[in-house]
A = this chain, B = another copy of it.
Amino acid sequence: MSEPTESSRPLRVVVADDQAAVREPLAAVLGLAEDIDVVAAAADGNGVLDAVAAGPVDVVLMDLRMPVLDGIETTRRLSDEHPGVAVVVLTTFADDDSILAALSAGARGYLTKNAGRQDIVRAIRAAAAGQSVLDREVQDRLLATVRARPTASGQQLPADLTPREREVLTLIGQGLPNRAIAEKLFVSEATVKTHINNLFAKAGIRDRADAVRRAIAAGLA
């Protein structure tokens, strides 16, 4: 999972924050670490995507509140299109919604802005190594959310669903109409309907609303 020495080559890091007063000193202080190269500083999500497209990037240190394209959506796109790039969120906001949204979008770390320089550096290194670093209060909140619901943990779906059918069910669970599902899977709407009919029959699902509930209950969505 990691090499014998901490720094085989410097980590290429992008710093994203809409406030220059935060972004610039942050980039400067991170650059002091020998194993970290701040290769770009962005003021919004588009800047991040541009920087990642321009050259190899290991870790993005991301603020959530940014104009045009916010941190959540940027994280989502990164984990879609550049899964090799790790995202560490650094924000003042640590409410449940933000935490869940960021981690669900694929963030590998979540720090609040009272984290110190060493905390941030450590989180960057961990994220680059495939680990995930959370502030203490963030972990507490995440855990509280988990324990709030005792998890019926249901896999009450029949096992004979084909992979494609599962895939379609997942997208239904996300609320997508058939046309959107068809586009996402690069097939025709007729095919989607076929899959839906088959999986409805197999799983005893009555209609679309029912399918959404089952997909969520099964942890697909």
Contacts and interface: CB of A to CB of B under 8 A. Distances in A.
A142 B144 contact: no
A152 B97 CA distance: 12
Contact of A117 (B2, B100, B134): B2
Nearest to A103: B143
Interface residues of A, number: 65
What copy number does this chain have within its complex? 2
A47 B208 CA distance: 36
Interface of A: 1-6, 96-97, 100, 103-104, 108, 111, 114-119, 122-123, 125-126, 129-136, 138-139, 142-154, 156, 172-177, 206-213, 216-217, 219, 221
5 contacts: A2-B116, A122-B125, A146-B146, A148-B219, A175-B207
